[in-house]
Chain A
Amino acid sequence: MLVLRDVKKHYREPNGHDLPVLDIPRFTIAAGEQVVLVGKSGGGKTTLLHVIAGITRVDSGVIEFDGRDIAKLSEPALDRYRASRIGYVFQTFNLLPAFNALENVELGMAFAKGPKDSAHAKQLLDRVGLTKRWSHKPSAMSVGEQQRVAVARALANRPKLLLADEPTANVDPGNQQKIIDLIRQSCEAEKIALLMVTHSMEVAGQFSRVERLEEINRVGQA
C-alpha cells in the first residue's frame, strides 16, 4: 500500500548549511499492517510521518500510496489525499479548543469529500468511550479523554493509513495502554494500516513489526 523509495529530505539551518534528515532507500507498509517506529529524539521520525502525510515535501524520491506517487501531487491534490486517506494522531492531541468533542471529530470530516455525518462522529466517540462527553470542550476533559477524541477524529474519514506520533507521550500511565489498545483495535476493525512512533519499548513490544529509524534511514547510520 505504501512504498517509499530513495526518499531524501534536508532542512536548511539558519547558518545556511544543509541538515540532512531523511535518506531512506526503501520502506513499505502493507494494507492493514501495524508498524511501530522507534528511534532517537531528533532522528527524523516526525519528519517521516509528515512526509508520508504529505505535510512536508521531500527533496527527492518516490512515496507511492496505493500506486500513486504523492510526491508529485499538486498541493490541492495532496490536501485531498491527506483528508481522505490519512488519519493523524498527534503527541499533543491538537484538538481545537474552540470546539467541543463532537465538533472536533466533525472537523476531521469537514475537509474530506465524503458525507459530513454527525451520527458517524457520535459513533466514533461512542467507540472511544466518550458517549456522554461529546459536548465537552477539550479544556473540560482529561488528557486521556482528549487523546481519545483525537483518535476518533483521526478515524473520522475512514482513512487507509493512521499515523500516530507518540500518542501516549502526554497521557498518564493508567491511560497509556487504553489508548494503544483503542488505536490498534480501531485499526484492526476498520482494516486501517498503522504507523506509530513511540519511545516506549513497552508499547513497541506489543507490535509484531518494529522498525528502528536508524536502520531504515541512512542519515541516522552516518
Chain B
Amino acid sequence: MSLWKIALRSIQHRFFASLLTVISMALGVTLVVAVLSIHGIMQESFTTNASLGYNMIVGAKGGKLQLTLNTVYYLSAPVENIPYDYYLEFLPASRRDAELDTAIRARAHGVRQSMASIETVSALGGGLLPASLLAGAVNEQALERAGAKQLDRGRDGKFLQYTEFAIPVCLGDYLGNFRVVGTVPEMFERLRFGEDSDREYEFATGRNFQAYSDEFGYFEAVVGSTVAREMNLKVGDEIAPAHGSVDGHKHAQMFTVVGILKPSGTPNDRAAFINMEGFYLMEDHAEPIAVDKEAAQRAAEESSDSSDPARDAKSADGEDVASPVAVSRTEARRVPLPVEQRKVTSLLVLSKPRGALGLQYIINKANVAQALFPVQEIYGLFALIVSPLQRALLFLTAMICVVSGTNILVSIYNSMSERRHEIAVMRALGAGRSTVMTVILLESVMLAVGGGLIGWTLGHSLNMLASPIIEAQTGITIGFFDLAPGVKLADLFAMEDSTNPLLQWRISPEVVVLPALVLLAIVAGFLPAMSAYRTDVSRSLGS
C-alpha cells in the first residue's frame, strides 16, 4: 500500500472536513485565476493600447500626460489646440497645395456667399448687418486679397522629411458620454493596432467615412463598437455631437453614421469619429477673426461682383439662397472652412525610422507645439497607476493563497488530536517518523492540488462566461484553456538581471500556481506533520 493511498484514505475518512477544505482552496484558486486574468487583461489591454500605430503626438504645449490621455484614451479635460498650418507642414506639396487651394476657393466662395447674404439682408430692408456675418465676410475678403503668396504654396511641409504620416485629431465634442473625434479617413486606413501594430481596423457594418460624399457631404460618422452598442446606433442613424462637454448644447448639425467598427480593444471602441471637415463646419468650431469695420464697408461696396457665387449655389443645389439660413445648410455640405479658421487638437504622427528624435527636437524648440512619444507617457502612467494596482492585485492573490493555506493547516491540525492514535498505530506497525510526516504532507498536497484543480476549472469557466463582456470592453477574447499572459521570469521574481537569457523567458503566472500550491501545502502541512512526527507512540496507543 503506497503512502499516497494511505493519505487518500485519510482524506476520504474525514470526508466533510476535507470537502470544506477543498472548497475553501477551490474558491481561493478561483479568485487567484480571476485576479491573474484581470492582471493579464490589464497587461494585454495596455500592450494593445501602447501599440498605437503611431509613435508621436504633436499638440499644444502644456501637460504631456493630459495631451496623451486626450489623444490616446480620449480622457481627461480637453487641451489647447494648435494651428491647422502645423498639420500642413507634415504634408507633401501636392496635398498641402490642395488643402490651401481648397482654402482659397473656400475663402472666395465664403466672401461671395457673405456678400450675397449682405445683399439679401439689405434687400429685405435690414439696415444693420449681423456683426459676425459682417466680420467674417470682411476678413475673408481681406485674406483673399492677401493672395496665394501668403499661403506659401508649392513646397513640401517642413516636417515631411521626418514623417511617414500625420493624422489630425480634433477633440472637444461629446456623443453621450463618449468623446467625438474629428479626423480624416486615414485614421482607419493607415493606423494599425494590436501588439505588433499590424491589425487593420475593420468595420462590423458599413464603411469608413469619406472626406466628402455626394450623399452626406462632409457629415459622415463612424462609431466605435462600444458606442454603437451602448447608444444603440446603426448605420444610417443620425447623431448630433454636444459641444464642449457631456452636458454641452447639442450642435444643430447632424452626422450620419456610415460605419461601425469591429471591437479592437483600443480606446477607439469608445469614441465616435466624424469627418474633420464636418467638425469644422459646426457652429462654434470656426476660429473667430477680428472685426474690421472699414473692410466690411468695402466688402459691402464690392458686393456687386459679376460672378455671383450665391447664384452658383442656387443653380447647383436648386435651393433658394435668398435666406441666409437656407444658404448655410446647403452650402455647408459643399464648402469647407478656410485654413485660417481651423485648429487641431493634436496630430498622430508616425515618424520615419530615424526621424523621431530630430522631429521632436525641432518641434519642441519652437514655441508653437510640443511633440511627445505617447508610449513613454503611457509607460509612465502605467508605472504610476496601473503597476501599483497590479501589484495590489498580486498581493491580494498572495493573501488569498495564504488564507487558503491556513485553512488546510487548520483543517489538518484540528484533525491531529483524533489522528494521533492512528499515527501511533502506524508507528507501532513499523512506520518511521518521516513516513507518518510524509503521509500528512501528502494529504495536505492532495487537498491543495484537488482544490486547486477544481478552482482552476471554476475560474476558467467563469472567464469563459465573462469572455463576451470582456471582449466587448477590451477586444480581448478568453477561451477556457487560455492561460493568463506570460510574464518575464525576471519580472516574476523581481530580479533586475536583464542579461540572463533564462530570465527573459515568459511564462504564464498560472503555470506557477500548481507548484506554488504544492509548496503552500507543504508549508501548511508542516506544522501538523511535525505534530505527527513527534507523536508519543506509547502514550497515544493506550494499550
Point out residues on A near B: beta carbons under 8 Å.
46-47, 50, 53, 55-56, 75-76, 79-80, 82-84, 86, 88, 90-92, 94, 96-99, 103, 106-112, 116, 153, 157, 165-166
A103 touches B429 (CB 8 A): no
A94 pairs with B431, CB closer than 8 A: no
Task: Decide: B9 and A99 in contact? CB cutoff 8 A.
Answer: yes
Interface pick from B114-122, B160-168, B277-285, B420-428: B420-428
Identify which of residues 497-543 in chain B touch chain A, using a CB-to-CB cut-off of 8 Å: 537-538, 541-543
A53: B residues at CB distance < 8 A: 428
Centre residue among A79, A80, A91 by max chain B CB count within 10 A:
A79
Q: Is B435 engaged at the interface, CB distance under 8 Å to the other chain?
A: yes
Docked CA distance A185–B6 (Å): 31
Asked if residues B9 and A92 are in contact (CB atoms below 8 Å), the reply is no
Interface pair A92/B430, CB less than 8 Å apart: no
> Does B314 count as interface, using CB distance less than 8 angstroms?
no
Inter-chain CA distance A76–B427, complex, in Å, is 11
Which residue of A has the minimal Cβ distance to B3?
Answer: A110
* Complex CA distance for A90 and B13, rounded to whole angstroms: 22
Q: Are B429 and A107 in contact (CB under 8 A)?
A: yes
Q: Which residues does chain B contribute within 8 Å of A91, judged by CB atoms?
A: 543
Nearest CB on A from B118, distance (A):
103
A55 to chain B: which residues have CB within 8 Å? 427-428, 537-538, 541
For residue B205, CB closer than 8 A to chain A, the reply is no
**Contact: B538 with A107, CB < 8 Å?**
no
User: Given contacts A97-B13, A98-B10, are A82 and B430 in contact (CB under 8 A)?
Assistant: yes
Known contacts A46-B543, A55-B537; is-contact A98 B12 (Cβ 8 Å): yes
Task: State whether A79 touches B432 (Cβ < 8 A).
Answer: yes
Question: Which of B10, B435, B537, B542 contacts A111, CB < 8 Å?
Answer: B435
Chain B contact residues, majority secondary structure: helix
Interface positions of B (Cβ within 8 A of A): 1-3, 5-6, 9-10, 12-13, 421-422, 425-433, 435, 537-538, 541-543
- Complex: how many Å from CA A88 to CA B432? 16
Contact A84 B541 (CB under 8 A): no
A-B contact pairs, 9 of them (CB 8 A): A46-B543, A55-B428, A55-B541, A96-B426, A103-B1, A103-B5, A110-B3, A111-B426, A112-B430
Q: A94-B421, A112-B430 are in contact. List 6 more A-B contacts (CB 8 A).
A: A46-B543, A47-B538, A50-B538, A83-B429, A84-B430, A103-B9
**Cβ-defined contact, B9 with A111, below 8 A:** no
A79 to B434, CA, bound (A): 11
Known A-B contacts A97-B13, A98-B10, A165-B543; the reply to A88 vs B538 at CB < 8 A is: no
Hey, which chain B residues are within 8 Å of A80, CB to CB?
A: 430
**Most chain B CB atoms below 10 A, which of A56, A116, A157, A166:** A56
Residues of B contacting A107 in the complex (Cβ-Cβ under 8 angstroms): 1, 6, 426, 429
Q: Nearest chain B CB to A140's CB is how many angstroms away?
A: 14
CA distance A108 to B430 in the complex (A): 8
Q: Which chain B residue shows the least CB distance to A157?
A: B430
B432–A94 touching, CB < 8 Å: no
Chain A residues contacting B5 (CB-CB under 8 Å) are: 103
Q: Is the CB of A90 within 8 A of B10?
A: no
Least CB distance from B37 to A in Å reads 38
Chain A contacts of B425 at CB under 8 A?
90, 94, 96
Establish whether residues A111 and B431, one from each chain, have CB atoms under 8 Å apart when the complex forms.
Answer: yes
Minimum CB distance partner of B434 in chain A: A76
Which A residues touch B9, using CB under 8 A? 96, 98-99, 103
The residues of A that contact B3 with a CB separation of less than 8 Å are: 110
Say yes or no: B542 contacts A92, CB within 8 Å: yes
Contacts of A82 in B (CB 8 A): 428-430
A47, A92, A111, A116: which contacts B429 (Cβ < 8 A)? A111
Name which residue of chain B comes closest to A156, CB basis.
B429
Chain A residues near B430 (CB-CB < 8 A): 79-80, 82-84, 86, 111-112, 157
- Cα-based distance from A109 to B374 in the complex (angstroms): 71
Q: Given the complex, which residues of A lie within 8 Å of B429, measured CB to CB?
A: 82-83, 88, 107-108, 110-111, 153
* A83 (CB) vs chain B CBs: closest residue: B430
